[in-house]
Structure 1
Amino acid sequence: MILHKSTNLTFFTPEDVNDSLGALFFDAGISAGFPSPAEDFKEQRLSLDRELVKNKEATFFARVSGQSMIGAGLEDNDLLVIDRSLEPENNKIAVCFLDGEFTVKRLKVQNGEIWLQPENPDYPIIKVTPENSFVIWGIVTNVIKKV
């Protein structure tokens, strides 16, 4: 269910999922180097909600639109997991509401000033001033990518 759509992000809420459901999960390391024997695979169920959502009432998903955070690994169409219950901190990646638009940037807090740092040199750093309408909406905890 789409909750809100803006220029840069589209927000979704987690759906209620039966805890007994989940994708099959094989609890063994999968080698990214040389192939390893397939013995010792233990099959169990894995719920991504249980892995990625720590506070269901305060968690939202948003799809990224744009390239300003590619240096942090956030690319166009990636799905962000955002927790609104977490305290904003320097260097965290945050979803912010700035002058009527949502944006995702790295927070830089220094000497009582807040800066929104993109992770792409083609985009400017944004200094938040008292003239801005500004809210730190939530902290990005995970990103889900398509390969």
Structure 2
Amino acid sequence: MRVDEVSALLADKPSVLVPFASVEAACGFPSPAQDYQTNEIDLNEHLMPNRVASFLIRARGHSMTRAGIFDGDELIVDRSIRPEDGHVVVAVVDGDMTVKRLRVGADGVVLSAENRHHPDIVVAELSELHIWGVVTRSLHRVLRA
């Protein structure tokens, strides 16, 4: 999966309050006993708790589909989170930017694809690896326009 576009987020933008139904939507049969009271949530706080350290990128490709990241999705990336084994990260390996799952083990670093049709990237000892940030959210449309 490659990164198609990188966008900075402005820290001084006003809050975005959106009505939030305090019920869960059943994907099976709805419960008639649910209360439909609504509250509001701030999308900035909900999606990007550390807005100053966050940015958006657009993903291209199909190597991360099992992680819920699809071609054309916008990804929220937080640079303040320390990357750890198992995190999905935006990484630059020898000048090429990619989105993969970080695997750190005794044998070294592997950037794992989440699609069996795409190879993992084994980071060679002399390769240059820079982690831009940890992916915290994948935003994608249910219906593609």
Same fold per TM (> 0.5)? Answer: yes
CA distance in 1, matches of 2:50, 2:33: 35
Query: Structure 1: which 5+ runs fail to align?
Result: 1-6
Is the CA contact (8 Å cut-off) linking 2:3 and 2:57 kept in structure 1?
no
Number of equivalent positions: 140
Distance verdict in 2 for CA 1:38–1:61, change over 3 Å: farther
Opposite residue 44 of structure 1, the aligned amino acid is N
Q: Deviations over 1:29-82 (max 9, x none)?
A: 122111233862222222221101121111111111001111211110111111
Find the counterpart in structure 1 of residue 55 from structure 2: 60
Is the CA contact (8 Å cut-off) linking 1:9 and 1:102 kept in structure 2?
no
Residue 18 (str. 1) matches residue 14 (str. 2): yes
CA distance in 1, matches of 2:23, 2:83: 35
Query: Structure 2: which 5+ runs fail to align?
Result: none
Aligned pairs (5 A) from 1:1-147? 8-15=3-10, 16-19=12-15, 21-37=16-32, 40-111=35-106, 113-147=108-142
Is the CA contact (8 Å cut-off) linking 2:9 and 2:56 kept in structure 1?
yes
Distance verdict in 2 for CA 1:124–1:39, change over 3 Å: closer
Find the counterpart in structure 2 of residue 4 from structure 1: none
In the superposition, the TM-score normalised over structure 2's length comes to 0.86
Opposite residue 103 of structure 2, the aligned amino acid is K
Report deviation, 1:97.
1.0
In the superposition, the TM-score normalised over structure 1's length comes to 0.85
CA distance in 2, matches of 1:101, 1:113: 19
Report deviation, 1:110.
0.7
* Identical counterparts, % of pairs: 35
Distance verdict in 2 for CA 1:127–1:141, change over 3 Å: same
Is the CA contact (8 Å cut-off) linking 1:9 and 1:103 kept in structure 2?
no
Opposite residue 50 of structure 1, the aligned amino acid is E
Distance verdict in 2 for CA 1:146–1:38, change over 3 Å: farther
CA distance in 2, matches of 1:85, 1:18: 21
